[in-house]
Amino acid sequence: MIAIVAISKNSYAQYSQDAIRFSQTLNGSTARIKAIGGAGTAIGGDLSSVSGNPAGLGFFTKSEISLTPEYDMQKTKATYLGSTMADKKNTGNLNNVAAVFYSRLNNSNADKTKGWLSVNFGLGYARTNDFYENVSYGANNNASSISDYYANRANNSADDLLGDWAYRQKLIDLYSVGANSSEYRSNVIAGGNNNVMQNGTITRTGSQSEFNLALGANYSNKLYIGGAIGIASIRYNSTTSFIENGDVSLLENGNDVNHNFTSVFTQDQYTKGTGVNLKLGMIYKPVEAVRLGFNFTSPTWYNMQDSYAERLDTRIIGSNTFQDGENYPLEYDFRTPLKVAGGLAVFIKQFGFISGDVEYVDYSSAKLMSNDSYNSTDDNNNIKSLYKGTVNAHVGAEARLSSFAYLRGGYGVQGNPNRGDFGSSIKTASGGIGFRSGPYSVDATYAHITGSQTIYPYEIGDASPASFLKKTNDNLYLTLSYRF
């Protein structure tokens, strides 16, 4: 899986972007549920219920354990100022491991199919978000330089550290704009036949995961209810570099002298956190062939440790080499949005089923908490103004080919949380096969995931250059299960 986060135009370190990034999670699941597009809210009887709808645990009549490894092939095609570049990253990981333990209840009813029939306990690990990606983009720019951004920052605040670095490194200077006034402007020569070569790279690693403890109960083979406690964790690493090569015009002995330069602006972020959430679910069978599912996932309350660093390095040929940097550690708390999902599954005798579900998430309700070192007001205002509620939809089907073979297919859409045109919905087409022999089963799934994102390496108003990213993931999942 992948969360293709579509962030806002303000591309520098803002915790509001991370709050949305870490809120776009998917339920960890077996290859079977992934093959049907993730439409598992009303299915039940699958170990995905441990991390999804816990009511599904009530369908088990035996204990079971499963293991799901994953192999991801990520590709990004970036178009920047008319030039296109591609990058990729392949990774393997453990997507899901879970177990359910069946416990039959003794009841006093003469009809042993009535009343509370079982309470089953489940536990498991699920990977809910994957951050691994490589992005590369670049082109000649004859309209602007990132030094224009540095100059704007210096003009807006006399205490801006990045503006101070750019001034010390001779990328910007103070220019007279009248008899009694002056302003900072870029020294980089951009315009006409003068191009600035710009290259950007982004390297991200890390993931989100949950460890869930769940209970599911069966009442009269009609009503299934369940609950779960999730212990969530985050590990996120990002390194972003923006490199410029070109010419700067410097005043030397009263004359303008041009020098070739190379400048690198680097941002490093390391973030980790732990959190907790609660899941409540139910599945009801009005008739034997129909299942109606509902699942509520509370907000996840996280405690985060964040380390963010900026560095600016410049080498001016025939002049100087400069290096400046600063670290910004911070510990803070934040709350993700809650999630509400509903699903419908129709079973066609022994031939298979069709399933669909929808989920609503209001990303504008995510909230960062202030503390003695951090005022969250601006970031929370950004969350409310830049993000919105979305609907995630999934549909899929399973066909029984024989007494031991199954064919599956599905499609899912994860809604775009942005109010602006900075990203797209994430679309997933999937298919798979399954084999069951006695207590053993093997399921394999292929998923093709697509989405897009627009990033801005620096912001200078309407003239900000943009890189359009087209992202694809081709993922393989294999689930091995044993019933006992």
Residue-wise pLDDT for 175-201, tens only, equals: 988 778 899 999 999 987 789 999 999
Query: Average pLDDT of 115-122?
Result: 96
- The answer to whether 242 and 458 are in contact (CB under 8 A) is yes
pLDDT above 90 (res 256): no
pLDDT above 60 (res 300): yes
354, 335, 356: which is closest to 346 by C-alpha?
Answer: 354
Q: How confident is the model at residue 110 (pLDDT cuts 50, 70, 90)?
A: low
Query: 3-state SS string over the chain?
Result: CCCCCCCCCCCCCCHHHHHHHCCCCCCCCCHHHHHCCCCCCCCCCCHHHHCCCHHHHHHCCCCEEEEEEEEEEEEEEEEECCEEEEEEEEEEEEEEEEEEECCECCCCCCCCCCCEEEEEEEEEEEEEEECCEEEEEEEEECCCCHHHHHHHHHHHCCCCHHHHHHHHCCCEEEEECCCCCEEEEECECCECCECEEEEEEEEEEEEEEEEEEEEEEEECCCEEEEEEEEEEEEEEEEEEEEEEEEEEEEEECCEEEEEEEEEEEEEEEEEEEEEEEEEEEEEEEEECCEEEEEEEECCCEEEEEEEEEEEEEEEECCCCEEEEEEEEEEEEEEECCCEEEEEEEEECCCCEEEEEEEEEEEHHHCEEECECCECCHHHHHHHHHHECEEEEEEEEEEEECCCCEEEEEEEEEECCCECCCCECCEEEEEEEEEEEECCEEEEEEEEEEEEEEEECCCCECECCCCEEEEEEEEEEEEEEEEEC
Rounded to an integer, what distance in angstroms lies between the CA atom of residue 396 and that of residue 341?
A: 16
- Tokens 């390297």 identify what position? 203
158 Cβ contact partners less than 8 Å away, ≥ 6 residues apart: none
Structure tokens at 296: 């509520």
Can you list the domains of the chain with their CATH numbers? 15-145+188-483 (2.40.160.60)
Averaged pLDDT of the chain: 93
User: What is the reported pTM?
Assistant: 0.91
Helices H / strands E in the chain, number of each: 5, 20
Residue-wise pLDDT for 413-430, tens only, equals: 999 999 877 788 999 999
Query: 3-state SS string over 315-380?
Result: EECCCCEEEEEEEEEEEEEEECCCEEEEEEEEECCCCEEEEEEEEEEEHHHCEEECECCECCHHHH
CA dihedral 20, 151, 243, 72 (to 10 degrees): 10
- Phi, psi of 32, rounded to the nearest 5 degrees: -60, -50
Q: How confident is the model at residue 221 (pLDDT cuts 50, 70, 90)?
A: very high
pLDDT above 90 (res 13): no
At 360, the amino acid letter reads Y
At 185, the amino acid letter reads R
Percent share of the chain, pLDDT over 90: 88
- Phi, psi of 362, rounded to the nearest 5 degrees: -100, 95
Query: Average pLDDT of 144-149?
Result: 96
337, 96, 95, 123: which is closest to 230 by C-alpha?
Answer: 123
Q: How confident is the model at residue 28 (pLDDT cuts 50, 70, 90)?
A: confident
pLDDT above 90 (res 253): no
- Tokens 């393997």 identify what position? 92
The reported pLDDT for the residue numbered 12 is 40
Tally of CA atoms within 13 A in the half-sphere of 313 that contains its CB: 7
Residue-wise pLDDT for 360-399, tens only, equals: 999 999 999 999 999 999 999 999 999 999 999 999 999 9
The reported pLDDT for the residue numbered 51 is 96
